[in-house]
Structure 1
Amino acid sequence: MKKIYILLIMSAVLFSFYSCDTEEDLRDESVLDIDESLQNELDVWIYENLTKPYNVEVKYKWDDNEIPNSFHVTPPKIEKAKDFLEAYLNLWIKPYEEESIAGNNPDFMYKYMPKLLVLVGTPQYNADGSMTMGMAEGGRKVTIFNVDKFAEVAVYTWDTPEVIVNRKKDAMRTAFHTLHHEFAHIMHQTKFYADEFKEICKGDYTANWMDLYPQDANLKGFITPYSMLNEDEDFVEIVAGMLDRSKYSNEPHEFYVPLMDEQGEPTNEDGNVFMTEWESFLYGWCWKKEYDENWNSYWVRTPEAKKAYEKFTAKVNIVTAYYNEKWGIDLYNLQKRIDTAVSNLVIE
């Protein structure tokens, strides 16, 4: 009986080959019917601007395979997805691409940028009370959460159009912190950074980073509380922090601040100093206001704060050298490119 069954199967297979062989008029066109009417305007834009030139797939519609069902999240609104993707192209892809070309690494973005971008409308709330704003998986996929709040700012009745635009620009810079962060993970997982980086704040990393304020992290030599989780998060948070503080990179802004002496310590004299946003962040690192016996205020940087500043700037030097040497990317030039791109892109 078994032999008969096998013979019947073989006969069916042979008949199918014969049928294919004797087909007289095979059609040139595909028999698959693709209904292009299902593609909306955003789908066409994604294909023309991201898929064709960069081989990037974007998923903004609901897909159970991309998001764990244990989290209560929703897909983004189409108009917010479009806003984000236009900024993604102009504020993220193109500045990196331009800088990598200038650094004689023209294939950098096409080769290393994530090929799957998943957009989620809401944040992912975790059991420990934290929110996940982005995830990178295996260098291929990046998920961005909270897209529905992209570049969303408070608007007051007395605000001028210029003020609103400037707020949106600031919000766009901040929104791309997550993408810079996740892309930096892909970079250091592809080419390792110097072990020296891991030694600078060794012993200060903690799983309890959520219990700390930004000032607490700064006093330990970290840019954010989250950067205290481990060495890798420390590294990528510095990259993201540099790139989302790109404001005034092309034209330094005038800040009225306490002036410093030759040793880099604040004096009692105030004055105007022209700086970029990143330079301003470093300039005021861990200053503390104190008072003399007559209750006159003055600024100081304590010995603890000075040590923290030295630790942090040492890490910044390693990060910038890594990007220059391993990838041909100058992070300070990239700041300028991002600043230009933000100035040119306005979300109405």
Structure 2
Amino acid sequence: MKTKLMIMLVIVFGLYSCEKEGALPKDTIFDLGGERWKRTDIDNLIYKDFTKPYNIEIKYKWNPYELNHNRTLVPIRESQVPFVLKAIKTVWMEPYEKVGSKNFLRQFPFLKFILTGSPEFQSDGSEIMGLAEGGAKIILFNMNEFLIDNRPSIENTMHTVHHEFAHILHQTIHYPEEWRGISTKWYTPTWFNSDMPTANAQGLITPYAKSSEREDFVETITYLLIHGQDEFDWIVDEYKDAAHIFRLKESLIVKYFKDAFNIDFRELQKEVEKGISKIVL
């Protein structure tokens, strides 16, 4: 009798508990897979120019799981996406393909670009323009402010892309051993306390180049490509005490591209400049 009573109580409790549970949500939980999106002209452009030929994914729809959840960020406006894609294709992809080969980027591609509308600010007030994760993903911030007809805007954005791609290159074939020791005494985790003139006087092309040997290497490559030979030469002339350091680094980069990838770095510089000029009317 006691056993039957206990069973009845359990059944009643179970029924009561079920009645208290709310209905399961009907909304799709984002990014678990299986979402259906109506394909837009932007999606078709991404598939044609990036995904099909290079297996590169471009994400512009809002996805908080791809970003730092401790920061307040906003999505990119869809009207901005084609402009950003045009800059990536014209200033990064086409120059490497023309000077390297049509298959060059297929050997060393990014797997994913994340386009975000706002900048990401650090606790010290500094602004992050781009991030990369292991050469597989690059996040471009503040793309709502990107201007396709403005050279500084293009240079800022494409500096990030070329910088991260240079990391992929040296992770594939290591940068020259001769680079070691050139500027070691100036590398510091507090590089952000240096300004441009201080860094240049020490033989480093940007303050961020002071953060480590590999960042020095890719920053110098990127500066020569994006900001051009004339601006690099101006810095060398302005900081004569460091001129021999800049020229040594420049010569090592030219040799590295030729020996490692059979790329004429001078021609690559010209093609990047042509790409920028093509879209800055």
Same fold (TM over 0.5): yes
1:282 counterpart letter in structure 2: D
Kindly state the Cα deviation for residue 210 of structure 1 after the two structures are TM-superposed: 1.6
Pairing 1:33-112 to 2, within 5 Å after superposition: 38-101=38-101, 106-112=102-108
Q: 2:236 aligns with which of 268, 278, 285?
A: 285
**2:170 matches 1:188:** yes
1:329 counterpart letter in structure 2: I
Q: Distance in 1 between matches of 2:129 and 2:72?
A: 14
Q: Distance in 1 between matches of 2:119 and 2:255?
A: 34
Kindly state the Cα deviation for residue 60 of structure 1 after the two structures are TM-superposed: 0.7
**2:224 matches 1:231:** no
Partner of residue 118, structure 1: 114
2:252 counterpart letter in structure 1: I
Partner of residue 125, structure 2: 129
Q: 2:270 aligns with which of 333, 336, 345?
A: 336
Partner-residue secondary structure (3-state), 2:255:
helix
Q: Distance in 1 between matches of 2:156 and 2:124?
A: 24
**2:137 matches 1:141:** yes
Cα distance change of structure 1 residues 48 and 217 upon mapping to structure 2, 3 Å threshold: same
Cα distance change of structure 1 residues 69 and 314 upon mapping to structure 2, 3 Å threshold: same
Partner of residue 146, structure 2: 150
**2:150 matches 1:216:** no
Cα distance change of structure 1 residues 209 and 318 upon mapping to structure 2, 3 Å threshold: same
Kindly state the Cα deviation for residue 170 of structure 1 after the two structures are TM-superposed: 4.5
Name the structure where helix makes up a greater proportion of residues: 2
Name the structure where strand makes up a greater proportion of residues: 1
Q: Distance in 2 between matches of 1:193 and 1:281?
A: 20
Q: Distance in 1 between matches of 2:153 and 2:116?
A: 18
Partner of residue 298, structure 1: none
Q: 1:206 aligns with which of 172, 182, 188?
A: 188
Number of residue-to-residue matches in the alignment: 248
Pairing 1:238-257 to 2, within 5 Å after superposition: 238-246=220-228
**Largest Rg, 1 or 2:** 1
Q: 2:260 aligns with which of 322, 326, 330?
A: 326
Kindly state the Cα deviation for residue 346 of structure 1 after the two structures are TM-superposed: 4.6
Length-normalised TM-score, structure 1:
0.67
Partner-residue secondary structure (3-state), 1:279:
helix
Partner-residue secondary structure (3-state), 2:113:
strand
Contact 2:200 2:235 in 1 (8 A): no
Deviations 1:29-62 (A, max 9, x none): xxxx9856x1222111111121112111110111
Contact 2:163 2:218 in 1 (8 A): yes
Q: Percent of aligned positions with the same letter in both sequences?
A: 33
Q: Distance in 1 between matches of 2:235 and 2:155?
A: 21
Kindly state the Cα deviation for residue 78 of structure 1 after the two structures are TM-superposed: 0.7
RMSD of equivalent CA atoms: 2.0
Q: Distance in 1 between matches of 2:163 and 2:132?
A: 9
Q: Distance in 1 between matches of 2:122 and 2:227?
A: 27
Partner-residue secondary structure (3-state), 1:336:
helix
1:57 counterpart letter in structure 2: E
Contact 2:76 2:115 in 1 (8 A): yes
Kindly state the Cα deviation for residue 341 of structure 1 after the two structures are TM-superposed: 2.0
1:279 counterpart letter in structure 2: D
Cα distance change of structure 1 residues 34 and 219 upon mapping to structure 2, 3 Å threshold: closer
Cα distance change of structure 1 residues 346 and 226 upon mapping to structure 2, 3 Å threshold: closer
Contact 1:112 1:139 in 2 (8 A): no
